[in-house]
Chain A
Amino acid sequence: MANSLRSEVIKLYKNLLYLGREYPKGADYFRRRLKAAFLKNKDETDPEKIKQLIARGEFVIKELEALYFLRKYRAMKKRYYSDDKP
């Protein structure tokens, strides 16, 4: 099996786990879902397929970062710019 991919998968998992600590539904909820998603593909051996899955994980990272940014932005906007009419 491609061992170079193994470390990449672990890195992805760690990064996602770290991001999940701020997940709105709680870190536990996120961790369970994350683990299930990784376990579902644990028998995957085709390197091309694994690369695709890693790319999907990286997409999820981008989505989470956007989610956190928007959450903060909205909270600030609501607190400090409530009279604004767009």
Chain B
Amino acid sequence: MAALRVLVGVKRVIDFAVKVRVAPGGAAVQTQGVKHSLNPFCEIALEEAVRLREAGAAAEVVVATLGTKASQETLRTALAMGADRAVLAELAEGAAAGPREVAVALAALARRLQPQLVLLGKQAIDDDCNQTGQILAAILDWPQGTFASRVSLEPGAVQVQREVDGGLETLRLRLPAVLTADLRLNEPRYATLPNIMKAKKKPLEVVPAADLGVPAGPPRLRLLQLQEPPPRAGGEKVESVESLLGKLRHAGRI
């Protein structure tokens, strides 16, 4: 297989270890001064692409994202993890994007770059939409393999093991195809300091999102309200077995 190109879509999200707080008003979460990083599922997708290249099955790994200027840092991390070059579809500061907007941008990039494989994380840990890969496959009219837990390339096709309810499903998709990565696909490597230094020299192209056909204005998905989960009710110490049984009975547990 010659010159197989892999496009990996990634997203910049609030770091998984950060406690997310809803901003006053309930219309957004606090992002100011909060640590951001590459979405863990995107890391898995990227790792898979890099492994395909290292195994000689793919020729080039291009990583792309739709986001504001801050997303450049995320793309650098992706380059440090082994992508060859990056494309940022740049949104104006403060603009938001939903799965549809991301899919439109990635579809335009896919038409431009002609990848044989598009790899995405199955969902982002911030909005948990789990839609981008599916919408992208629909726009491009390509076969899709979602929740992939094993990927193997064949000439002109890709075999995907999918995690479905109560088991695994194996599909054979003709290329080009869209795949979304599940948690068990692989173990992403760490972006080490020397690799981050090297990544600074890798090419990063910035394209205005409007040039890729991303519609201006607010995203089609409208966010109505955000709420923090209810705080955990504290435990209680009991004096004796009898009072424990009494309390459990009162709570309807026994």
Contact = CB atoms under 8 A, between A and B. Distances in A.
Interface of A: 11, 14-15, 18-19, 61, 65, 68-69, 71-73, 75-77, 79-81
Contacts of A19: 190, 192-193
Contacts of B194: 11, 15
Sort chain B's interface into a size bin: 10 to 19
A79 B125 CA distance: 9
B190 A73 contact: no
Nearest to A75: B16
Contact of B187 (A11, A69, A77): A69
Contacts, number: 34
A75 B17 CA distance: 8
B190 A68 contact: yes
Given A72-B16, A72-B40, A77 B183 contact: yes
A75 B41 CA distance: 12
Contacts of A77: 183
A14 B193 CA distance: 8
A11 B192 CA distance: 12
B188 interface: yes
Contact of B16 (A14, A69, A76): A76
Contacts of B17: 71, 75
10 nearest CB pairs, A to B: A18-B193, A65-B190, A15-B193, A75-B16, A76-B183, A76-B40, A72-B40, A69-B187, A72-B16, A68-B190
A73 B186 CA distance: 11
A70 to B, nearest CB: 9
A72 B39 CA distance: 11
Contacts of A76: 16, 40-41, 125, 183
Contacts of B188: 69
Interface in B167-223: 183, 187-190, 192-194
Given A14-B193, A18-B193, A72-B16, A81 B187 contact: no
18 contacts: A11-B194, A14-B193, A18-B192, A18-B193, A19-B190, A19-B192, A65-B189, A68-B190, A71-B17, A72-B40, A73-B187, A75-B17, A76-B16, A76-B125, A77-B183, A79-B125, A80-B183, A81-B183
